[in-house]
Structure 1
Amino acid sequence: MEHDLQLRAAARAIYDACYPSEDWSPLGFDEAERFGTVHYRQAVGAAQSARALLASQGEQLALPVFA
């Protein structure tokens, strides 16, 4: 997913929102991505679903702005 920065950013946002602490997932997003955990795959699936839904409505995912 390194080639699709928008999808990766959306998956990270979903992952961080759904798994905010070690109580939910023992790994952060980067480690979960590296190991392909079920939590990571669920976040990617949710990001893909969101992208498809938004694309059907003529929307586009925006890149997050980090300060």
Structure 2
Amino acid sequence: MKHDLQLRAAARAIYDACYPSEEWALVGFEVGERLETVHYRQAVGAAQQARAVPADRDVQLVLPTFA
């Protein structure tokens, strides 16, 4: 993923937002990337999913409803 700088930046933003301290993840993004921790893999997966979301302003995302 190091060759895809936009995806890496998005994954880092997600990682830092979801795991802001050692209470949430024991290592920072760079170490998580090197060790391929579960937190890192989750952030990459979220970044890949976000990339797939249409950027068209006229498209409204439909969120799932919970009963």
Q: Normalising by the residue count of structure 1, what TM-score does the alignment of the two structures yield?
A: 0.80
User: RMSD value over aligned CA atoms?
Assistant: 1.3
- Identical-residue share of aligned pairs (%): 72
* Structure number having the greater helix percentage: 1
Which aligned segments of 4 or more residues in structure 1 are displaced greater than 3 angstroms?
none
Bigger RCO of structures 1 and 2 (CA < 8 A, at least 6 apart): 1
1:57 to 50, 55, 59: 55
The runs of 5 or more residues in structure 2 that have no matched partner are 58-67
| Pairs aligned (count) | 57
The runs of 5 or more residues in structure 1 that have no matched partner are 60-67
Cα distance in structure 1, aligned partners of 2:34 and 2:12: 13
